[in-house]
Structure 1
Amino acid sequence: MFRFKQFTIQQDRTAMKVCTDACVLGALADVTADRILDIGTGTGLLALMAAQRNPDAFIDAVELDDAAYSQATENVAASSLGERIQVIHSRIQAVGGEEKRYDRILTNPPFYTNHLRSPDGAVNRALHTDDLPFPELIEVVGRLLKADGQWWVLLPPYEMGVLTQLAEAMNLRPFRRLHLRHHARKPVFRLISGLRYGAEAVTDETLDIYEPDGRTYTAAFRALLQPFYLIF
């Protein structure tokens, strides 16, 4: 269980637990929008963070895995934010159509391709791209994102490069990119990119979670997560 200031995440039945990089995505992404889509919601974390940050947004949170869908539904229902979140049990490839497009799409996608498999099928779905390869993900985003919308995605640096190259073919380009490090002496381990159609320039930023001592949270990280973390 992970308690935030305005909601609680139960995660005993989900393969992907609450992690710092996903929380940074949820706190950073632009959610000033009426309709938001969370692809692969897992515990419901990103959907709940978006609902907290934007009291006027309506959010569709899509999840394929049975146990994760059930747990996300319970987490949303237990929250005061849940009236504006719909948890949908489906493959994202089967969701929506011309009549259903979104102002913002949030994605913390699986990214392993050739790594060793877990005997747990839920873990494989959460970590490996089999159920949602990058080309299919980009096709889905192209179908569901409004012309003036934004797609926010979290990936390791190499995988973000692959995804960005594929998205370029659809004229989806980064306009903002956050390089996330544990601290200044460590390499970047995640990138968070905001993409939109026809973006011509990208603003690059770096966020360190800790000071160089590896224990003290940086002021920038504290400020970003202060609305959510009980410790701040």
Structure 2
Amino acid sequence: MPNSYFQFKQFRVEQDRCAMKVCTDSCVFGAYVEVQEAQRILDIGTGTGLLSLMVTQRSHASIDAVEINAEAQLQAQENFAASPWAKQLHLHPMSLQEFARCERPKYDVILSNPPFFLSSLKSPDAARNTAKHTGELLFEDILQFAQSHLKDQGKLCLLLPPPEAAHFAKLAKASDLYLSETLQVFTYHGGKCIRHIQTYTFTPMAMPVIKEFYIREEDKVTYTSAFTELLKSYYLIF
């Protein structure tokens, strides 16, 4: 049974009310995305608030976090309030569609670990379904919002499994958002690619940058030096 919380060096993520718990690939995403120069950041589908908290640790930006699930809203708000950056973090308890109806300043970075399983069998757990399956939040909704609310030089960053990442890239191109970089995340050296961290901009790229990132060594136990370096300011074990 997952712990009711995940303790980081500078903050704690309580997660007993959320269907989707803190996971390694989300932590890689939160630590990897470039936010140091950003002034305004949006986290779509914040859940526990993990990504917002991780990027706030290394940014002075004002961060808006949108969440539709009532239990997750409460959890994220508690996690934000208990963190050292409560004044930077702003929870919006609503759907992205509702959020978009209000006048909003444009964002330097929009990030999301969205519902992603387009065709897999659904869980009997309704909250988990909302968190993992495209239903309440569609890829098209994210793209439509980014078209209107991302700055000209801004970045849209997503964490998706490879098949869904390829599907999103096709949709994005049709919406004049272009893939500039993909970080392929592997479980271990010799293992399978489990996630793509994608960065989109309004500038067409003839050849998007493709990088590889390995969580563990071939022994499937030892963390790689790249993983240790990326997460050392977050994980207590480093």
Counterpart code for 2:133: H
- TM-score, normalised by the number of residues in structure 1: 0.96
Whole-angstrom distance in 2 between the partners of 1:189 and 1:153: 14
1:5 maps to 2:18: no
2:183 to 178, 182, 185: 178
Percentage of matched positions with identical amino acids: 44
In structure 2, the gaps of 5 or more residues are none
Q: Is the 8 A contact 1:110 1:129 kept in 2?
A: yes
Deviations 1:161-212 (A, max 9, x none): 0000000012211212100001121121100011100232421110110010
Pairwise CA RMSD:
1.1
Aligned to 1:207: 213
In structure 1, the gaps of 5 or more residues are none
Whole-angstrom distance in 1 between the partners of 2:40 and 2:85: 15
Aligned to 1:26: 30
Aligned to 1:191: 196
Q: Secondary structure at the match of 1:132?
A: coil
Aligned to 2:54: 49
Q: Is the 8 A contact 2:118 2:164 kept in 1?
A: no
Aligned to 1:71: 75
Within a 5 Å distance, the mapping from 1:75-224 to structure 2 comes to 75-96=79-100, 97=102, 99-200=104-205, 201-224=207-230
Q: Secondary structure at the match of 2:188?
A: coil
Counterpart code for 1:141: A
Whole-angstrom distance in 2 between the partners of 1:129 and 1:121: 13
Between stretches 41-50 and 128-137, larger displacement belongs to 128-137
Q: Is the 8 A contact 1:98 1:143 kept in 2?
A: no
Whole-angstrom distance in 2 between the partners of 1:137 and 1:80: 29
Whole-angstrom distance in 1 between the partners of 2:204 and 2:73: 34
Between stretches 87-96 and 68-77, larger displacement belongs to 87-96
Please report how far the alpha carbon of residue 119 of structure 1 lies from its aligned counterpart in structure 2 after TM superposition. Answer: 2.4
Whole-angstrom distance in 2 between the partners of 1:144 and 1:89: 19
1:16 to 6, 15, 20: 20
Whole-angstrom distance in 2 between the partners of 1:151 and 1:184: 28
Whole-angstrom distance in 2 between the partners of 1:199 and 1:227: 34
Q: Secondary structure at the match of 2:145?
A: helix
Deviations 1:78-127 (A, max 9, x none): 11111100011000112145542211001100111232222222111101
Q: Is the 8 A contact 1:15 1:122 kept in 2?
A: yes
